[in-house]
Amino acid sequence: MTQGKLFVISGASGVGKGTVLKEVMKRRTDLRFSVSATTRPPRPSEADGREYYFVTRQRFEEMIGNGEFLEYDEHNSNYYGTPRAQAEEKMAKGPVLLDIEPMGAAQVRKSAPDAVLIFIMPPSMEELERRLRSRNDTPEDQIEMRLKRAVWEMEQRVWYDYVVVNAQLEPCVREVLDIIAKECGQTA
């Protein structure tokens, strides 16, 4: 059976990853997004089953116990994980994109060494903080926690396959699309 390539995209909260990924998905319609499960409450703009499957801690821990995750991690006071069955089903059809942080990316690297790991960097720490605050959807204590974690996350970029800076949306989207085309054996 042919398997679609697995692309892992990581980047600190506020880097604009969501916007980049939406644009990438619009232009590469064969790419399927793996919808994670999380115990974090939904933001006003989010819908269950689209951005995430929003589940209780009890349900998430049941899923861990049943071995239902390809990878999972607890960060920012919540669990996040990739449901294995869903990811495998999508990979049977074509390339799949996972938006996960470095702890999860390390687990994917172990279980799927062929996965392509891409890290999105902000142009500066100041800009990251500005973007995170301007979203207006994250409480102040969460912002502090996310900025602290961002420093550690950015240090992890050294073991990723590619590092892309999101200074401006369009060049960043193009760079990610080029990487995907190249890794899928297509010329960009």
Helix (H, G, I), strand (E, B) or coil at 68: coil
Report how many residues bind ligand 5GP under the rule CB under 6 A.
Answer: 16
Q: Does 73 bind ligand 5GP (CB under 6 A)?
A: yes
- Binding window for ligand 5GP (CB under 6 A); candidates: 75-83, 87-95, 127-135, 154-162: 75-83
Helices (H) and strands (E) in the chain, counts: 7, 9
Cα 103 from Cα 107, distance rounded (Å): 7
Q: Does 100 bind ligand 5GP (CB under 6 A)?
A: yes
With CB under 6 A as the contact rule, the residue among 32, 99, 119, 160 that binds ligand 5GP is 99
Q: Per-residue contact track with ligand 5GP, 30 to 49, x per CB under 6 A?
A: ------x---x---------
Cα 99 from Cα 118, distance rounded (Å): 10
How many Cα neighbours within 13 Å face the side chain of 125? 11
Angstrom CA distances, 24 to 41, 98, 148, stand at 26, 13, 28
Nearest CB to ligand 5GP, comparing residues 24 and 100: 100
* Interface residue list for ligand 5GP (CB under 6 A): 10, 13, 36, 40, 71-73, 76, 80-82, 99-101, 103-104
